A = this chain, B = another copy of it.
Amino acid sequence: MDLHETITGMGVKARAAASALRRLDTAAKNAALLDIAAALEAGADAIYAANAEDVAAAEAANLAPAMVDRLRLTGARFAEMTAGVRHVASLPDPVGETIWTREMPSGISIRKVREPFGVVAVVFESRPNVFVDTAALCLKTSNAIILRGGKEARRTNMALAATVAKALGSLADAVQFVEVQDHEAVAELVRAVGLVDVAIPRGGERLIRAMCEAALIPVLKHYKGVCHIFVDDGADEDMALAIIDNAKVQRPSACNALESLLVARPIAERFIPRVREWAREKGVRLHFGDAPLDSEFLALEMNVTTLEDCRAAIEHINKYSSHHSDAIITANAAHAAEFLRDVDSACVYHNASTRFTDGGQFGMGAEIGISTDKLHARGPMGLEELTTYKYVVAGEGAIRR
């Protein structure tokens, strides 16, 4: 069987599973999720054993320690994974929710209702928890899922896939794992028009670009976060420093961390020395024009740029930002309003840290990623963003005049 046939076969099975999922009520889906959590715990030994083999192979292959660390399934990560599945079971189910209803003079009543996509493909890299996290989010939203993971985590993912399949029983085709390692498998997935409804990459920029290049189906992109904070003339400078500290230092590897600080010229002479002092204390390396302005450092490093005013900051951000999360610190209401309206990013902040861009912090309960796209979903994606909608129209013999 060639790769095209393999992926097509999986797509056909996923589509049938999606039809079955559509007929389950919320209680049945939650029960399936709790079964999965229990099965993972019951099968922990086999999963840890598979993971140990992956880790040993990665070490033998001299993979970077950070990569090996990401691969390793510790007790804490395992517990977080099963707790995550149970948490998803506890969340409200968006499927079937009514978005609006309209009674039309023509005699029809229209209901706009949230619906599952059908089949979702998730392509991820080395973190094995992504397998279980995304499968749980898809099951909760009645979507079948086809997963494809990095080759380093292959044994772990296969053990997870076997455990989940066993827990799902007759619904096993709702969560399928692509075992073939050929890169072409990803291309086949994103070209499976009519079988896969949407692809979600969970990985770096290279993976996302390769998928977009090959895709005939929609790809929900989660690009990098080049986040800015602009400190305006007249801002509360203590507040600004506290927000800068939180946005840069709390978790520098996060996509919502600060990468580029912009300072209004009238306060630069006073404020930048305070930033230098803070940076020295916290071990943050500052770049004054010696790094590309769109750098995503993901480390204790950042750009610092002095700009004329709020309008210049808006233009700088719209040019260099990745349109993820950008903030203004100001006491000037007109500047705040202008910044919040004109900065073309998924999340725009006034006097708050960019670190809040997160499904949990936004009250979504869970998050499958943070979209830097403008279509379908923008910013943090929770359960609702894993659904589409349809129009359910009822009449009593209504015809169009």
Contacts and interface: CB of A to CB of B under 8 A. Distances in A.
A346 interface: yes
A44 interface: no
Nearest to A380: B391
Contact of A397 (B239, B247, B363): B239
Contacts of A243: 397, 399
A218 B400 contact: no
Interface string A349-374: 11111011100011100000000011
A310 to B, nearest CB: 13
A307 interface: no
Interface string A315-355: 00010000000000000000010001110111111111101
Interface stretch (A104-112, A148-156, A269-277, A280-288): A104-112
Nearest to A105: B363
What is the copy number of this chain in the assembly? 2
Interface residues of A, number: 67
Contact of A349 (B212, B378, B395): B395
A350 B104 CA distance: 15
Q: Give the secondary structure class of A's interface.
A: mixed
A392 interface: yes
A379 B353 CA distance: 38
A166 interface: no
A177 interface: no
B216 A390 contact: no
A388 interface: yes
A316 to B, nearest CB: 13
Contacts of A220: 375
A243 B110 CA distance: 17
B23 A351 contact: no
A248 to B, nearest CB: 11
Interface in A40-59: none
A374 B104 contact: no
A7 B7 CA distance: 37
Contacts of A373: 218
Contacts of A394: 336, 349-352
Contacts of A344: 19, 22, 115, 118
The 5 closest A-B pairs by CB, nearest first: A352-B395, A246-B399, A239-B397, A355-B400, A374-B388
Interface of A: 19, 22-23, 102, 104, 106-108, 110, 115, 117-118, 197-198, 212-213, 216, 218, 220, 236, 239, 242-243, 245-247, 250, 318, 336, 340-342, 344-353, 355-357, 361-363, 373-376, 378-379, 388-400
